[in-house]
Structure formats: C-alpha cells, structure tokens
A and B are shown apart, each in its own frame.
Chain A
Amino acid sequence: MTDSILKTVDVNCAPDLAFEVFVNRVARWWPLDGHAVSAASGKAALAVTIEPHVGGAVYETMYNGERSDWGTVLEFVPGEKLAMTWHPGNNADNPTRVDVEFAATDDGKTRVTLTHSGWEVWGTDATDRRTSYDGGWDHVLGTCFVQGCMQDA
C-alpha cells in the first residue's frame, strides 16, 4: 500500500492537444468542489492553475479569491510529460510528486499515465519526521499513512 498510485486513461486526441487540455484547461476538468483546499471550508474552489513552465506554480484560487499553493512544475515537455510536486493544504517542505506522461497510441489517441508517488520516502526517515510536528499534510499522507497500512498488514 505504500506503492505509488498509478492511473491511465486513453483520451480521444493527439498528445499535443491532450497535454494542452491537461495543463491549460485544468480548471475546466478539476473537481473544484471536492479536492481543493476550499473544501475544508465547505466551498468550491474558483480555479486551479498550472503555470506552463519548469518552476511554475501549481495553485488553487480559493472560494474567497485567496491563493493556495499546491506545488511546483518540475518537468514541462509539451505533448510528452508534466511533473510537479504536490502538497495541497500545507507547507512545501515535504511534497509528494505527480508525474503525467502522454504517449500516442496506434489508433490516434493518447494514453495518459499518471503516477502519484513519494509516499515511500516517508517510511525511511519516519523517526525524524515524527519528532518534529511541522510535517503537515504530507506527513499525514506519507509517514502516518504508511504506518497505518503497516499496522493493517
């Protein structure tokens, strides 16, 4: 259960457009009413933005217009690959990571593969993490989660 989350979806267009929709139209398809920092206040977010370059910010425009940073773009190769750190709702010290790859299929579609990783890291230095109380969200999803799953096993 500490494995990465791995998802694939085939979309009905070429990789360039698939990438374009993923990045530039993210606010059109992201579940703004559920998975957003605004949800903690029972509100829907107004938008999600992925700045289209390496080092660009990934952020939510909250229901009240404030900005909540979620991550930073690590790799940006139009039509091929997007990678970003991912830490909605907390400080950026210990982010997980989301990789999205776009590959053309034989029938003219694009296979999009999304990997949400970084949980494993939290198992290795769990002791250090647990002695400081500032790990926040990723500590919760990482160390604590891993710990919880190990108890399950």
Chain B
Amino acid sequence: MAYQKSLIALADPTRRLVFEAVAHAPSAVGQLAEALPVSRPAVSQHLKVLSDAGLIQAEAQGTRRIYSLRAAGLADLRAYLDQFWDQALQNYSDEVDRIVGEQNDRLDP
C-alpha cells in the first residue's frame, strides 16, 4: 500500500535527506548530488525509491528530469497515521476485553 511504502521509503536517513531537499525546492539529480553529501548514483537510487513510493514526481525539462514533492503521497502518509491510530486503539480495546474476561472467569468459576 502506498502509505506503508512511504514510511519504509522515509525510514532511511539518507533518503530522508534527499526527500527533504526535493521538498525544499524542485531539483534535478545533479543539483541534489552537489548540495548533499551523497553520490550521484546514490541520489538517483533514492529518487527512484521515493518516486515508487509516490512521495515525489519527476517532470522532464529539456534533457533533465526535475523532481518535486507529490502532495497526494504526503496525504497518504497522514491518512496512514489516522488509520494507524484506529487500528491501535481497536487492538487496545480488544486487549481490555480479554483482561476483563479473564478477571470475570476468575471471579465466577
């Protein structure tokens, strides 16, 4: 799923750096490699993962590809967190039921 991919893509600190640079200003691979302590091939690889995760998008300008933030990808991330809390709290509520059930079993043998 897109949001899971986003989280995994952003869990790598170097990739996060690349992502933040793109979020700061739309950039070409060469510009990113100059601005960051990352080699050009590594930047390309990170851009690919970020693109696959839907977090950034590329647009051809002449012979260059300019990478920029993809708003919908970030909305996915927020939506993921929203759903995550729903799931976590449902699990939590189930755990309470389990414990209360055990206590009742003990009281009513």
Task: Please name all residues of chain B whose beta carbon is closer than 8 Å to the beta carbon of A25 when the two chains form the complex.
Answer: 95, 99
B86 at the interface (CB under 8 A from A): yes
Task: Please name all residues of chain A whose beta carbon is closer than 8 Å to the beta carbon of B105 when the two chains form the complex.
Answer: none
Q: Is B4 in contact with A148, judged by CB distance below 8 angstroms?
A: no
A148 → chain B closest CB, angstroms = 3
Q: Is A34 in contact with B77, judged by CB distance below 8 angstroms?
A: no
Which residue on B lies nearest to A28, using beta carbons? B95
Q: Is A21 in contact with B95, judged by CB distance below 8 angstroms?
A: yes
Which residue on B lies nearest to A11, using beta carbons? B96
Measured in the bound complex, the distance between the Cα atoms of B79 and A148 in whole Å is 13
Which residue on B lies nearest to A112, using beta carbons? B89
A103 at the interface (CB under 8 A from B): no
Q: Indicate with 1 or 0, residue by residue over A1-38, a CB within 8 angstroms of chain B CB atoms.
A: 10001010111110001100110010011110011010
**A29-B91, A147-B23 known; A21 vs B69 contact (CB < 8 Å):** no
Give the contacting residue for B78; candidates A35, A130, A136, A145; CB below 8 A: A145
Task: Please name all residues of chain A whose beta carbon is closer than 8 Å to the beta carbon of B12 when the two chains form the complex.
Answer: 40
B4 → chain A closest CB, angstroms = 7
- Describe A's contact surface by its main secondary structure: helix
Q: Indicate with 1 or 0, residue by residue over A117-153, a CB within 8 angstroms of chain B CB atoms.
A: 0000000000000110101110111011101110110
Task: Please list the residues of chain A having a beta carbon within 8 angstroms of any beta carbon in chain B.
Answer: 1, 5, 7, 9-13, 17-18, 21-22, 25, 28-31, 34-35, 37, 39-40, 89-90, 112, 114, 116, 130-131, 133, 135-137, 139-141, 143-145, 147-149, 151-152
Top 6 closest pairs, chain A to chain B, by CB: A40-B11, A148-B74, A148-B71, A29-B91, A29-B95, A151-B71
Q: List 9 A-B contacts (CB under 8 A).
A: A11-B97, A18-B96, A21-B92, A30-B88, A40-B12, A139-B20, A145-B78, A147-B23, A148-B73
